[in-house]
Amino acid sequence: MKSTIRNIGNSKGIILPQNILKECSIEYEVNIEVKDNTIVISPVEEQKLLKKWRKTVMMN
CATH number where 24 lies? 2.10.260
Q: Does the residue 27 lie in any domain?
A: yes
- Buried b / exposed e along 5-43 (16+ C-beta atoms within 10 A): eeeeeeeeeeeeeeeeeeeebbeeeeeeeeeeeeeeeeb
Q: What is the pLDDT of residue 31?
A: 92
Return d(Cα 49, Cα 56) in angstroms, integer: 11
Domain range spanning residue 45?
6-59
**Which residues on adjacent β-strands are paired with residue 34?**
39
pLDDT digits (tens, 9 = 90+) for 24-57: 888 888 999 999 999 999 988 766 666 676 777 7
Q: Does the residue 1 lie in any domain?
A: no
Dihedral, 3, 9, 37, 27 alpha carbons, nearest 10:
-70
Residues in the chain: 60
